[in-house]
Amino acid sequence: MQNWLEEKKAIVIGERDGIQGPSIAKCLEAAGVTIVYAVTECFV
Amino acid sequence: MDADNQANIKKIAEEDRDALNKIIVVLGAGDIEGAEISAETVTVGDPSFAGPLAGVSLRLPVYHILEPELKDVIPEDIYEENLGIWTMTLDINEIGKRFRAIREKSSNA
């Protein structure tokens, strides 16, 4: 399958009670994405 | 989405116009409804009209990390290690359906 993510640049918005930024970033980087901004939001 | 993150996203979108066609937003919200609100914020603008993206239509392509389109191209071992448990908690097909609709709506806006 063609990797459509390769060469993309990603803004990552994770969630403390969901999927956190670093986990998302790790997955995307493994697919060839460059992370330009990554954060984990926390809602209280 | 909090105001600081909205401001940073707006700045990235405005400063790097050359890369704009390569930029995607990827969300990791633990509930679909919350994810939809964040998605709306980076496409047609902050629906609460409280942050810097109020009334600002960036129309950035937005995805949820659990969408099948992303799963298909992320190495399986990395995916399982970081996201595996979430596939048992959330309906990834429903997430995919809702986010495709958001992207389609944004591109037609």
- Return the SS3 of B25: strand
* Chain A neighbors of B1, CB-CB under 8 A: 13, 41
Task: Give the model's pLDDT for residue B47.
Answer: 84
Half-sphere exposure (Cβ direction) of B18: Cα atoms closer than 13 Å: 0
Task: Give the model's pLDDT for residue A32.
Answer: 95
Beta strands of chain B (E only): which ranges? Answer: 23-27, 62-64
* Chain A neighbors of B28, CB-CB under 8 A: 12-15, 18-21, 23-24
Which residues 13-42 of A are in CB contact (within 8 Å) with B? 13-15, 17-21, 23-24, 26-28, 30-31, 33, 36-37, 39, 41
Q: What's the rounded Cα separation, in Å, for the pair B34 and B59? A: 18
Task: Give the model's pLDDT for residue A44.
Answer: 64
Kind and range of the H or E element at B107?
A: helix B92-108
Task: Give the model's pLDDT for residue A42.
Answer: 86
Which two three-digit tokens encode residue B47?
């629906």
Q: What's the rounded Cα separation, in Å, for the pair B88 and B70? A: 17
Confidence of residue B48 (pLDDT cuts 50, 70, 90): confident
Task: Give the model's pLDDT for residue B65.
Answer: 96
Residue pair B26/A11 in contact by the 8 Å Cβ criterion: yes
Q: What's the rounded Cα separation, in Å, for the pair B51 and B47? A: 9
Query: Closest Cα to residue B27, out of B47, B5, B51?
Result: B5
Does the pLDDT at position B34 exceed 90? no
| Residue A44 in contact with partner chain B when CB distance is under 8 A | no
Task: State which amino acid sits at residue A27.
Answer: C
Task: Give the model's pLDDT for residue B105.
Answer: 86
| pLDDT tens digits for range B91-107 | 999 999 999 999 998 88
| pLDDT tens digits for range A1-44 | 678 998 899 999 999 999 999 999 999 999 999 999 999 998 76
ipTM: 0.94
Q: What's the rounded Cα separation, in Å, for the pair B27 and A42? A: 13
Average pLDDT, chain B: 89
pTM of structure: 0.92
